[in-house]
C-alpha cells in the first residue's frame, strides 16, 4: 500500500469524465487499497480516482461504518427530498461550502473482487456518494456550492460536533 499524491484545483483531470474499469484486476485492487490509505491519511471520508490522477470510475469511502470500495459505481436511486449541508473536498484544501444533495441514495457497482455490490443510506453517506460520483463525471462541488469560503476554526468545531451526532445513528449501508 502507498499514500498517493492528491491532485488539487487547477489540474484538468478534475474536470474530465472518467472511463469505466473494464476488469477488476490486481492493478485495480492495489489502486483501491492505495486510495483508502490516502483517504485515511488525509484524512477524508471519500476519495475518487481522478483525485489521485487516475481517470477511472473508482471511488472509496468510509463515513464511519467501515471502508467501501466501489468500481464503476452507479447511483440507482435518489430521494426527492434534498438537504443543504456543509461540504469540503481534499482537492480544494481549506475550503468549505453548502451544497444541496438528495437525502437518500442507493448505489451499485463492483467490489475489489469484481462482485456486484450495492449500498443504500442517507445523510453523510448519501452526500459522500453524490460528491464522489460527481468527481467521476468531472464535476466538483465548488461549482454547485453556496457560500464557498475558507474553513475557520469555528467551522471545524461545528464539524466535529456534527460527526459525533452522525456516528450515533444506526448504519444503513
Ligand atoms: Zn471531492
pLDDT tens-place string over residues 13-66: 999 999 999 999 999 999 999 999 999 999 999 999 999 999 999 999 999 999
Return the bridge partners of 123, or none.
Answer: none
Candidates 82, 132, 158, 161; catalytic one: 132
Residue-level pLDDT at 161: 65
Residue-level pLDDT at 157: 73
- How far is residue 168 from each of residues 40, 95, 164, measured CA to CA in Å? 21, 27, 7
Nearest in space to 102 (alpha carbons), one of 142, 138, 75: 75
Neighbours of 102 (CB within 10 A): 18
Which residues are within 8 A (CB) of 86 and not within 5 positions of it... i.e. 6 or more apart? Answer: 96, 97, 98, 155, 158, 159, 162
Q: In angstroms, what is the span from residue 72 Cα to ligand 1's centroid?
A: 17
Q: In angstroms, what is the span from residue 44 Cα to ligand 1's centroid?
A: 9
**For residue 29, what is its C-alpha cell?**
485492487
Q: In angstroms, what is the span from residue 140 Cα to ligand 1's centroid?
A: 7
What strands, in cross-sheet order, belong to the sheet with 95-102?
A: 82-87, 95-102, 146-150
Specify whether the CB–CB gap between 14 and 135 falls below 8 A.
yes
Q: In angstroms, what is the span from residue 91 Cα to ligand 1's centroid?
A: 6
132 flagged as catalytic: yes
Q: In angstroms, what is the span from residue 112 Cα to ligand 1's centroid?
A: 21
Phi, psi of 143 (to 5 degrees): -75, -20
Residue-level pLDDT at 159: 65
**For residue 82, what is its C-alpha cell?**
434534498
114-147, pLDDT tens digit by residue? 999 999 999 999 999 999 999 999 999 999 999 9
Please compute the mean of the pLDDT values over residues 107-113 and round it to a whole number: 98
**For residue 27, what is its C-alpha cell?**
492493478
Q: Which domains does the chain have, with CATH numbers?
A: 12-166 (3.90.45.10)
Return the bridge partners of 59, or none.
Answer: 48, 70
Amino acid at each position: 500500500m502507498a499514500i498517493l499524491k492528491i491532485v488539487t484545483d487547477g489540474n484538468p483531470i478534475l474536470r474530465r469524465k472518467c472511463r469505466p474499469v473494464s476488469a477488476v484486476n490486481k492493478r485495480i485492487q492495489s489502486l483501491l487499497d492505495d486510495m483508502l490509505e490516502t483517504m485515511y491519511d488525509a484524512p477524508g471520508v471519500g476519495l475518487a480516482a481522478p483525485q489521485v490522477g487516475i481517470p477511472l470510475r473508482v471511488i472509496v469511502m468510509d463515513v464511519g461504518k467501515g471502508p467501501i470500495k466501489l468500481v464503476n459505481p452507479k447511483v440507482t436511486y435518489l430521494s426527492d427530498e434534498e438537504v443543504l449541508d456543509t461540504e469540503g473536498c481534499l482537492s480544494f484544501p481549506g475550503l468549505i461550502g453548502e451544497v444541496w444533495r438528495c437525502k437518500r441514495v442507493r448505489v451499485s457497482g463492483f467490489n475489489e473482487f469484481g462482485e456486484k455490490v450495492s449500498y443504500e443510506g442517507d445523510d453523510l453517506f448519501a452526500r459522500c456518494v453524490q460528491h464522489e460520483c460527481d468527481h467521476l463525471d468531472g464535476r466538483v462541488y465548488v461549482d454547485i456550492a453556496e457560500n464557498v469560503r475558507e474553513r475557520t476554526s469555528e467551522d471545524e468545531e461545528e464539524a466535529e460536533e456534527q460527526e459525533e451526532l452522525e456516528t450515533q445513528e444506526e448504519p444503513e449501508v
